[in-house]
Amino acid sequence: MAPVRTTGAIVAAISFSMAAFSYFLFFKMNTSTLPFNNKKKRRKGVVDAIGNTPLIRINSLSEATGCEILGKCEFLNPGGSVKDRVAVKIIEEALASGDLVPGGVVTEGSAGSTAISLATVAPAYGCKCHVVIPDDAAIEKAQIIEAVGATVERVRPVSITHKDHFVNIARRRAVEANELAAKKAKASQVDGNGLDRMNGCTIDQEKENSDFLSHCNGGFFADQFENLANFRAHYEGTGPEIWEQTSGCLDAFVAAAGTGGTVAGVSKFLQEKNPNIKCFLIDPPGSGLFNKVTRGVMYTKEEAEGRRLKNPFDTITEGIGINRVTKNFMLANLDGAFRGTDKEAVEMSRFLLRNDGLFLGSSSAMNCVGAFRVAKTLGPGHTIVTILCDSGMRHLSKFYDATYLFKYGLTPTANGLEFMK
């Protein structure tokens, strides 16, 4: 019986070792390629599905320049853009500070992406969203915001210094929501039953143009331009992801700025990791940031020529370009800036569509113009990262509309990259 027992023990030992070895192999394979497997992991709800976006090689531009040009696919976020990260950070910080409470309304003045992202994630936090938008923004953006359940006010575009600029109206709506919530609380204390009547009239009558206000638990103005939660979303999220996905092997980062949150958060993080990483701005027509970065003064050619008042059309690229320095932009670490034209952005979008199957929005196309310029400036052999902010789906009525492009002399004609001078 002894040999049988010995054989059994050997078989058991071998089986155990094989099982342990397989388990080790399985575990090792899964952890050694963490970003890849993170993507496959089950995520807890829509908020957990934001971020950890793929970083892809843009083959056509990489081959044309001899550089590795990489694009961070932010269009793959659930709300369709880079702004999902910002929406989550703004709401979470506001809830943590008590400035926003569940059942409250987040208000924002946004030409689109941030509003869509806030509207998308607000319900996950038990909150509502109200958006004030200029009526010259692409119509599909307002349609999406309403479709996902937010309320939308479309207003005439006026100067930021005007009290009825869409950002100022959004700020006011949050104040009104807070006033209304305070009055409601007071009324319920007096009446003891949460009555909706004060001074003989209903709260709804009092704020007749702001129906949403009467159904919420106070308001919070997201303020993406000045709220540094925006910067932190990129400093704590986008930047570290780019660092990990490139294993720290990158030479440059380039992006356009709207609020400046992306370029500031990413540039600050990357340069803290490695001060040799060069960070650049690509600036669209009508924006004063190029001059701010290169000469230290806010100045645009359009303003100098007095064209702005006669023709308010500055750029076809939505969400980027600005004529003031926001608190978010102030935190950017930039080594230089490039200019991009509308024609280059349109042509670049069609080039990437034909050659890479990338259907990108206008700011992403401008970022790729920037990546190409950086590649040409640094020369072959460098790795350059940019942001693919949103997809072309959001830009059908302008950037991808033949009639609109023709009207502004922007009809694409190039076969290759000859439009990049």
Ligand X SMILES: Cc1ncc(COP(=O)(O)O)c(C=O)c1O
Instruction: Please report, as ranges, the residues that interact with ligand X according to CB under 6 A.
Output: 81, 83, 112-114, 257-263, 319-320, 361, 363, 389-390
* Minimum distance from residue 51 beta carbon to ligand X (Å): 14
* Minimum distance from residue 206 beta carbon to ligand X (Å): 33
Cβ atoms of 337 and 257 within 8 Å: the answer is no
Q: Which is nearer to ligand X, 113 or 178 (CB)?
A: 113
* Minimum distance from residue 114 beta carbon to ligand X (Å): 6
* Minimum distance from residue 83 beta carbon to ligand X (Å): 6
Burial, 327: exposed, middle or buried (Cβ in 10 Å; 0-12, 13-18, 19+)? middle
Q: Which is nearer to ligand X, 79 or 219 (CB)?
A: 79
Q: Which is nearer to ligand X, 184 or 394 (CB)?
A: 394
* Minimum distance from residue 148 beta carbon to ligand X (Å): 16
> In DSSP terms, which residues pair with 108 in a beta bridge?
131
> ∠ CA 322-326-329 to the nearest 5 degrees?
90
Residue-wise over 250-278: b if at least 16 C-beta within 10 A, else e? bbbbbbbbbbbbbbbbbbbbbbeeeeebb
- Kindly report the length of the chain: 421
Gap between the Cα atoms of 174 and 129, Å rounded: 10
Gap between the Cα atoms of 193 and 256, Å rounded: 53
Q: Which is nearer to ligand X, 134 or 361 (CB)?
A: 361
Gap between the Cα atoms of 387 and 83, Å rounded: 12
Q: Which is nearer to ligand X, 51 or 218 (CB)?
A: 51
Gap between the Cα atoms of 247 and 47, Å rounded: 26
Cβ atoms of 140 and 397 within 8 Å: the answer is yes
Q: Which is nearer to ligand X, 72 or 382 (CB)?
A: 72
* Minimum distance from residue 111 beta carbon to ligand X (Å): 7
Q: Which is nearer to ligand X, 64 or 281 (CB)?
A: 281
* Minimum distance from residue 341 beta carbon to ligand X (Å): 17
Gap between the Cα atoms of 363 and 399, Å rounded: 10
